[in-house]
Amino acid sequence: MALSSQKSRLRDINNTGFGPNSSVEGGRLINSDGSTNLRKRGIPLWERTSIYHTLLKMERAHFFLAIFVFYTVINLSFAIVYLITGVEHLVGVDKATTLFEKFAEAFFFSSQTLTTVGYGRVAPTGMMTNCIASLESLLGILVFAVVTGLIYGRFSRPRAYLLFSNNLLIAPYKQGKALMLRTTTYKNNHLTDVEASLTLAIHVKENDKMVTRFYPLPLEISKVASLALSWTMVHAINEESPLYGFDKTQVADSKMEVIVNIKGFDDHFSNIVQQRTSYTYKQVIYGARFLPMFERAADGEYTLLELDKINAHELVQFEEDRVMA
């Protein structure tokens, strides 16, 4: 492989947090959403899981589904307790005759108590039932305080809101080749002082053993003052690049992964935000270049950024391919 002949002059990095032993790796190192492709074991699940972080990072639909399930389970549990205690201690459920009707009355009384709504139609009587209702009211106050905090935390959590191209492109560039990817913000936020860094993870054979080596991929421009439009990051594949000499076949056989890390300052949050993603060798298109994704509006008053064209590209031929053809 072309990389083997360059090892003497290329300096790899070993502070990425990932080990060099390829035989213990499973799939890609970083998922496309920026999370680490890693699972942990050895201690109980409840000790290695942060419920707070899980709920903050959970998808919106799953988050509200989890709240609904938790709310329903609490009410079901208290409804069973009220049923065991005796629904005759709940004034206002006299008309309930069947077990289902009694359980339904206990369930809805529980929901009214948990949320401290208290319509007044059903009320507890007796020391035991009143104690249970008081305990549920206290639990309701605590639970809804936590849920409110989680919703606020999810709403106010700083995020970069970056959209990345689906593919890495290897395109003609300054009489040679370059590795390119594109990103832009897809919300109405504004990032300034944006920095990007690329790291190449590639498997090489050393002493009859496959190991993973990490190399920085210097960018032509690694920092922009403002990410108002799209940003095409360009890594020139020259003599100083670990990808120098790679042809289409070698790229496909390399099992490489490019890890992308971007951070910038968000004007609205007044905070530094960051986002990362990665591309595997399967996402590399050899011989392609990006097409423009923004243009002047018809009335000439503003610039139109078309987010659905983030991955728009066209196939091209390299000069050596034309000569061979």
Res 193: pLDDT: 95
Q: According to the CATH classification, is domain 2-38+159-324 in 2.60.40.1400?
A: yes
State pLDDT tens for residues 67-97.
999 999 999 999 999 999 988 888 888 777 7
Of 23-32, 102-111, 246-255, give the lowest mean pLDDT range: 23-32
* Residue predicted with more confidence, 163 or 7: 163
Output 1-9 pairs: Cβ under 8 A, ≥24 positions apart. 1/204, 1/250, 1/253, 1/254, 2/243, 2/244, 2/245, 2/246, 2/250, 3/202, 3/204, 3/213, 3/242, 3/243, 3/246, 3/254, 4/204, 4/205, 5/245, 6/242, 6/244, 6/245, 7/204
Break the chain into its structural domains and give their ranges.
2-38+159-324, 47-156
- pLDDT tens digits along 215-273: 999 999 999 999 989 999 999 999 889 998 888 888 877 788 999 999 999 988 889 99
Supply the mean pLDDT for the chain: 86
Residue 1 vs residue 215, higher pLDDT: 215
- pLDDT the model gives residue 323: 45
Nearest alpha-carbon partner for 37 in 278, 283, 202: 278
**What pLDDT, on a 0 to 100 scale, did the predictor assign at position 312?**
93
CB 111 within 8 A of CB 122: no
Token pair of 176, please?
């040679």
Q: Is the pLDDT of residue 322 over 70?
A: no
What pTM does this model have? 0.79
User: Are the CB atoms for 112 and 140 separated by under 8 Å?
Assistant: no
Residues listed for the chain: 325
- pLDDT higher for 212 or 235? 235
Classify domain 47-156 at the CATH topology level: Helix Hairpins (1.10.287)
Contact criterion met (CB below 8 Å) for 241 and 217:
yes
The reported pLDDT for the residue numbered 324 is 46
What percentage of the chain reaches a pLDDT higher than 90?
A: 46
pLDDT of residue 320: 62
User: Is the pLDDT at 300 greater than 70, yes or no?
Assistant: yes
Q: What angle do CA 75, 81, 84 make, to 5 degrees?
A: 140
